[in-house]
Chains A and B, each alone.
Chain A
Amino acid sequence: MKKEIMSGNEAIARGAYEAGCHVACAYPGTPSTEILENTVNYTDIDSSWAPNEKVALEVAIGASFGGGRALCTMKHVGVNVAADPLFTLSYTGVGGGLVLVTADDPEMHSSQNEQDNRNYAKFAKVPMLEPADSQECKEFTRLAFELSEQYDTPVMLRTTTRISHSKSIVTPGERVSGLAEPKLVKNAAKLVMLPGNARVRHPLVEERINKLSEAGATMPINRLELRDTSIGIITSGVCFQYVREAMPGASTLKLGMVHPLPKTLIREFAAQVDKLYVVEELDPFIEEQIRAMGIAVTGKELISLCGELTPGRIRTAFGLQQPPVVPGDKLPGRPPNMCPGCPHRGVFFALNQLKAYVTGDIGCYTLGFMPPLSAMDTCICMGASIGMATGVSKVVSAEEKKKVVAVIGDSTFLHTGINGLMDMVYNNSPSTVVILDNRITAMTGRQDNPASGFTLMDAPSHSIDFPLLCKSLGVRHVRVINPFDLEQTRKVLQEEMERPETSVVITDKPCILVKREGVFQKGPTYAVEAEKCTGCRACLKIGCPAIEWRPAGDGGKKGKAFIDPLLCTGCDVCRQLCRFEAIGRTK
């Protein structure tokens, strides 16, 4: 077939298609999201978004036990959520092949931590493959399905942001045929993990890992390349590419399987080179295991435990010459910002005015912590806002309790926030929860969810009724507000914060970027009447990218506001801030 340029994520989707994958399931998360957005283009695969990663993996496990091949994808922190089924799945093994993709994010380009998920493979005792470009993403995905069935184990495929989101050349292949038809097979001794059964399975897991380590010595994905033998580097994934770039003469052992390590091959390589190094991002995962084998090796004493590597960082670590780089001047930064017309802006403006203590969550609205809105005080993980609000309210004074507000998006609430709300009602927390329902999983690029009314395959579906859901959980005070109405927003929030009972406030305006018919409404744009503008800067307090401060030009502090008609969506929030009626609709 003709060569194509694909991202790592597109190539993993292609690999799953070629491997005859039946079911693909995921919760969106950068940098993994585009895998399912591409499997959906292959109609032979049943692709779906799950409410969270644990459910996604359980769907995949069910499909596998039914004899189908199943792909489950998530970002690194998603594996924390899915860890519960993963560890026991290691014991049961699979029916049809099961591949779990973990997309790690060294450097935290879009994440709250940079945990190294290679540790999960060792912890759960499952094999892990790590591709180094898009062609390998496709090939390793196919191989992962085969290994999964051959060794009766889930197989993890680990990418990093630079693999997931980089594009390189891929030669597509055909979809396999002749796989066994999925069907129900009962096998309680293998699939019902009660202690008596699990005790039988555990030794098999240990045996399986030993067999895989032995097989690793002859797997073509573990590649020993001898060049100058004074330096030998063991590496994997995108780090292999950086090593080849920065130190083209060095001998390399490129590991396609990073767990279990192919010990025989490592000993062979170590014996052929004068000095042995490991180049790996984040944890000394490979290095420590090699040292435990009694082999002298250098790694983290040269290379940082933090952040991603680059060819330049490897050169620096090895004391090699760098091209001269002229340091840049100090420039104004350009952080991400909420879009013009974003329905979250008014809520954070109000929370700032009310001096709330906001336990935050994961989504576009996390940007509410940035000035000038500056109205978020914590952000830990998906769904954490609600439990944390309960907890902080337990310890502070009666007056301070009133300040505590949890803020969470629709998708995040359905992910793992809902359990926190059950707890809040059950244990009678006085806190207020704001559900920012913008009808979409916005931050990762607008994916559907159980409240959006559509599935990943674009079929119309039930849309969860948030007020009804909250009432059914036992919340007695549920109020729906229009977040573009600043006065109503502030008033309702204030009343519910005062109330010494659990209450939920739901905003009901969709993400401005949702283009679905009947949802996106760009109203008439607004403009500043220059004669009426006093230059008081009140409208700048919402941090809208469509509003610009234009200095008078005399070097002083005076100036006027200007609204960019191309960016303005007509949300009306700035008009409500102007005490001089200088902002109005354009005719």
Chain B
Amino acid sequence: MSDKITNILLVGVGGQGILLAAEILSEAVLLAGFDVKKSEIHGMSQRGGSVVSHVRYGTEVFSPIVPEGEGDILFGFEMMETYRSLSLLRQGGAVVANDLRIAPPSVLMGQETYPEGLAERIKERFPDFLLLDGQKLASEAGNPRTANTVLLGAVSRRLDIDEHFWLQALEKMVPKKALEVNKTAFLLGRSADWNRP
């Protein structure tokens, strides 16, 4: 193992299941034998506010938060939150985003508009960009509620963690009755084509 620390950011809206996805990711990394730290803010942010979770792994991790501008992968569950967090990434970092819009209060009330063309704007700054329709792929996997697992599968392709550690982590963290569909969803995401135009 090298001294390199891998920095992953998971961002979205409170209630989207970001914390669980970060837990599964951390568990897989632990099983693979790495040191790992994970950090996020609970509390006020639960009520539909922005959520940012940091996961870092490597031989020895010090800070539980990703230093500014050093993120390797941004894992976005919602488009505007993905775009908002781009400044956390290093130049040349990768972005996986769920093609989902959740309107914040000011947009719901018609005072502001939800920004357009976010996917194009992200790709301009970070060409290593994968946009997925998590909900659609999750339905294909058999349950629209597994969108997070599909996205996690896509992220997993970019990390040096063997597949069986991911599946083991899912077994530990996902309730038994939902396990099979989550495994299917994970593998579907894992097969996503990062190099498509």
B68 touches A31 (CB 8 A): no
Which of A17-25, A317-325, A469-477, A578-586 touches B?
Answer: A317-325
A537 touches B105 (CB 8 A): no
B14 touches A166 (CB 8 A): no
* Contact of A192 with B by CB under 8 A: no
B81 touches A334 (CB 8 A): yes
3 nearest A-B pairs in the assembled complex, by CB-CB distance: A110-B43, A549-B110, A323-B69
A335 touches B105 (CB 8 A): yes
Which residues from chain A contact B49 at a C-beta distance below 8 Å? 334-337
Q: How far is the CA of A322 from the CA of B87 in the complex (A)?
A: 13
Contacts A30-B42, A169-B36, A338-B47 hold; do A311 and B86 have CB atoms under 8 A apart? Answer: no
B64 touches A166 (CB 8 A): yes
Residue of A nearest to B13 (CB): A334
B27 touches A322 (CB 8 A): no
- Residue of A109, A168, A537 near B43 (CB, 8 A) is A109
Which residues from chain B contact A575 at a C-beta distance below 8 Å? none
B106 touches A312 (CB 8 A): no
* Contact of A540 with B by CB under 8 A: yes
B48 touches A332 (CB 8 A): no
A364 touches B47 (CB 8 A): yes
* Contact of B108 with A by CB under 8 A: yes
Q: How far is the CA of A145 from the CA of B162 in the complex (A)?
A: 42
A549 touches B109 (CB 8 A): yes
Residue of A nearest to B114 (CB): A332
- Residue of B38, B63, B90, B103 near A242 (CB, 8 A) is B63
* Contact of A241 with B by CB under 8 A: yes
B26 touches A540 (CB 8 A): no
In the assembled complex, 7 residue pairs joining A and B whose CB atoms fall closer than 8 Å, in A order, are A133-B64, A166-B65, A168-B35, A334-B13, A336-B46, A549-B110, A551-B113
Which residues from chain A contact B84 at a C-beta distance below 8 Å? 328, 331
Contacts A245-B63, A372-B109, A545-B105 hold; do A324 and B69 have CB atoms under 8 A apart? Answer: yes
* Contact of A244 with B by CB under 8 A: yes
Interface residues in B1-54 by Cβ distance below 8 A to A read 13-14, 23, 26-27, 30, 35-50
Interface string of B70-99 (1 = CB under 8 A from A): 100000000011011011001100000000
Which residues from chain A contact B27 at a C-beta distance below 8 Å? 5
Main secondary structure of the interface of B (DSSP, over half): mixed
* Contact of B164 with A by CB under 8 A: no
B108 touches A327 (CB 8 A): no
Which residues from chain A contact B67 at a C-beta distance below 8 Å? 245-246, 310-312, 315, 323
Which residues from chain A contact B46 at a C-beta distance below 8 Å? 336, 445
B104 touches A333 (CB 8 A): yes
Which residues from chain A contact B23 at a C-beta distance below 8 Å? 5, 167
A166 touches B38 (CB 8 A): yes
Interface residues in B97-124 by Cβ distance below 8 A to A read 103-110, 112-115
Residue of A nearest to B107 (CB): A332
Which residues from chain A contact B104 at a C-beta distance below 8 Å? 332-335
Most A CB within 10 A of own CB, among B23, B62, B63: B63
* Contact of B125 with A by CB under 8 A: yes
Which residues from chain B contact A30 at a C-beta distance below 8 Å? 42-44
B87 touches A333 (CB 8 A): no
CB distance from B165 to the nearest CB of A (A): 14
Q: How far is the CA of A91 from the CA of B48 in the complex (A)?
A: 46
B37 touches A166 (CB 8 A): yes
Q: How far is the CA of A551 from the CA of B103 in the complex (A)?
A: 13
* Contact of A377 with B by CB under 8 A: no
* Contact of A128 with B by CB under 8 A: no
CB distance from B7 to the nearest CB of A (A): 11
Residue of B nearest to A310 (CB): B65
Contacts A3-B30, A168-B36, A322-B68 hold; do A31 and B63 have CB atoms under 8 A apart? Answer: no
* Contact of A1 with B by CB under 8 A: no
B42 touches A31 (CB 8 A): yes
Most A CB within 10 A of own CB, among B37, B86, B87: B37
Which residues from chain A contact B43 at a C-beta distance below 8 Å? 30-31, 109-110, 443-444
A328 touches B42 (CB 8 A): no
Which residues from chain B contact A48 at a C-beta distance below 8 Å? none
Interface residues in A140-167 by Cβ distance below 8 A to B read 161-162, 165-167
* Contact of A350 with B by CB under 8 A: no
* Contact of A256 with B by CB under 8 A: no
Interface string of A540-553 (1 = CB under 8 A from B): 10010101110100
